[in-house]
Each structure stands twice: as C-alpha cells, then as structure tokens.
Amino acid sequence: MSQIVLIIGGGIAGLCAAITLQQIGMKVKVYERSTEPTVAGAGIIIAPNALQALKPYRISDEIIRQGYPSDGFHVLSDRGRPITQLAVPSGYGSLHSIHRKDLHHILLSALPPDTVEWGRSFLQLEQKDDHVRVAFSDGSQAVGDLVVAADGIHSNIRKQIFRKNIYRYAGYTCWRGVVSVDGLPGLSHRFIETWGTKGRFGIVPLPNNKLYWYALINARQSDPRIANYSTKDLHRLFQNYHDPIPSLLLKTSSQDMIHRDIVDIAPREHFYSDRVVFIGDAAHAITPNMGQGACQAMEDARILAECLRIQSNYQGAFADYDARRRERIEQISRQSWKIGKMAQSESFLFTSFRNRLMKHAPKRIYRNQAQHLYQFQL
C-alpha cells in the first residue's frame, strides 16, 4: 500500500523529493508558503554528482539542455593572474549553470500539476503512532504517513522538534546579481572566482547572454550598514579588481541585488525524528564555497527514495538514509568551511603564500578531491 508523504517546502529539495518519491509509487503532496511559483535568487551551479543522482528522472537532461556548461572553476588573483583551476575530472561531465527560476520550472514540470499547494505556511505538526498531522497558518490541516521537512536552513519543523538550532556565522557576507553580458569588457566564457584581500568575487556565465555574479567580504553578522550597501558601495571595494568586475557592478541596479550573511548549521545527530525526515538545508545547510548546497539536496532526495523503496518500514528507511548521508555531508561541510576561511583572508602575506602554494600544488591533489566530490553513490 502506497504511503502518503507530506513535503513541507517547495524549493529545490522539496520538489526533488516529490519527484523521486512519486517514482517509487508514493502519494506525495508538497506544501509551499509562497502563494505562487516565483523564485528569488540569481544563478545556481549544478555539479556532475547531482546530475548523476537525478539521471533516472530525465531532469538531468533538461538541466544540461537549458544550462551553460563548464569544465570547472578558474581561480584568479585580484589582478586577473591565474592561481589554479578546479577542474571537473575527465569522464565526469560538466558543471552547468542555470538561473534558479529556470531550474524551479524544470522541477515543477516533472510533477503532476496538482502536486504543489501554494500559500500553505507551516505552523506545527503532531506525530501519532500511525500518522502525522500538519497544521498551517491559514487554519487548514493535512494528514499523512510521513513528513519530509524541506523548509530550508531556518526550518520551523526542525525548530519545533529539536528546539536547539546550532547556527554558525561564517564571518563573511554575500551579494548576488544577474546582468546582461552586453558591453562588458574582459568577459570570459569560463567560470571564474577571484581571490583578493578585499574579498572574493565570482563570475558565472548563464544562458541567454546573462551572467551571474557574487561578492563576499568579511563583516560582522547582521551589520546594518553593510546590509544597506548599494552596487556603488561594492564598486568602491572592488574597483581595482580585474575586468569585468568593476563594470558589471556598475551595470547592476541595487534593487536587483540579493544580500545574505553566510551561515551554516552543524549537521544534526540524526536527520530524522520518528515519522519526520529532514533533507537539504533543513538537515545540513552548507557554506557555498564548494557549490554543493543544492547538489547535496538532490542527492538526499534520490537516496531517501531508494531507502524507502528497499526497506520494509519507514524506521529502517530513515535510519538507512541517515547512515548513507552522514559521512559525506559532514566531510563536505567541514571542507567547505575551511575553504571559506582560507579564501577570505585579508592578510597580504598569507594570500601571497596561499596563491603560490595553490599554483604549484600537484594537479593530482585537486583531481582526487574532485573525483570524490563529483561521484554520486547510492
């Protein structure tokens, strides 16, 4: 008998879970607090491991068709000099950049039209011996056998069940934007991340003559002065960086820029609690330094469905899911945190030493790390 699964959150994690769970015959309903399928955000990069995880559902082919491919990231100094290339190993495919709204549309298109209920903001849940009851802020309720908590880093479900949340501020804050490439000097087709003592700057081409950029600087958490930065303020910080960084900042309007402090959460002792299982940022928010936040949510969705398919009861499935995911998530979380600290250094002496070390490091080190990162395993 197919189980009824209530998925709270209609972002990348929630929609991927709906797709994978429907494929194994479960009755799925997604509840999303937004009133319509609009997605705030800029670009996103989908790595080969996520494409492998979603391959059976034809989503990967559509991401590849609509995305912009790259063989990896080129890390440059603020003067534009090469430091190293973080390449995708041969045989693993490519990175693909895509606008978040386009990715969201691809995922929604893979689901029956009535799968998502919009305008449903989670209020509380109650677990019983044989079901879970979820209440929403509009007074409505839903009853199911299982709940998938996919409601993001500030998950209200996690706060209700575990009470204590371990948020870690990374020490730096981030702006993101999307601009047209028309008229930009020094533009490259490569995915580029620039490391300098004033901050980090990423440039990622997107389809349709657009590019996605992001800027990270060290700052106090929730600094109101920095929260009010305009693109002109960012231009003052990065005006001496290589082209096209200064030009694309001036080309971006301040109201089209997204700002957020970089925060992660330490992976919890368990990714489940009785009939509730956590995926994506609700389970293990990761700093963005390895481009794996959404990718790990996609892996979560595939492996959760596999565990529910092969296990005779949900308790065994959730324990299996936790065991399969924990080591990989913890390793990526630690590595991403360390990369961020190293990349955000403001010390001229340290950055000079770091750049020389990275430039002359044996390529096999990067290759071995990339092979582990980009290989999806059930």
Structural domain boundaries in the chain: 4-167+264-374
Whether 96 shows a pLDDT value over 90: the answer reads yes
Residue 215: name the closest of 234, 241, 190, 187 by CA. Answer: 234
Query: What dihedral angle (degrees, nearest 10) is formed by the CA atoms of 136, 139, 145, 151?
Result: -10
Whether 79 shows a pLDDT value over 50: the answer reads yes
pLDDT of residue 1: 47
Q: What is the pLDDT of residues 289-342, one digit of tens each?
A: 999 999 999 999 999 999 999 998 999 999 999 999 999 999 999 999 999 999
Average pLDDT over residues 256-277: 92
pLDDT of residue 125: 97
- CATH 3.50.50.60 matches 4-167+264-374: yes
- Give the DSSP letter string of 100-151: HHHHHHHHHHTS-TTSEEES--EEEEEE-SS-EEEEETTS-EEEESEEEE--
pLDDT averaged over the chain? Answer: 95
Residue 95: name the closest of 327, 365, 373, 304 by CA. Answer: 373
Q: Model confidence at 166, in pLDDT bands (50, 70, 90)?
A: confident
Q: What is the pLDDT of residues 25-57, one digit of tens each?
A: 999 999 999 998 877 779 999 999 999 999 999
- HSE value, Cβ hemisphere, 13 Å, CA-based, for 171: 11
Whether 281 shows a pLDDT value over 70: the answer reads yes
3-state secondary structure of 214: strand
pLDDT of residue 207: 96
Taking the CA atoms of the chain, what radius of gyration do you get in angstroms?
21
pLDDT of residue 145: 97
Of 163 and 370, which is predicted with more confidence? Answer: 370
pLDDT of residue 360: 95
pLDDT of residue 165: 72
Q: What is the pLDDT of residues 198-244, one digit of tens each?
A: 999 999 999 999 999 999 999 999 999 999 999 999 999 999 999 99
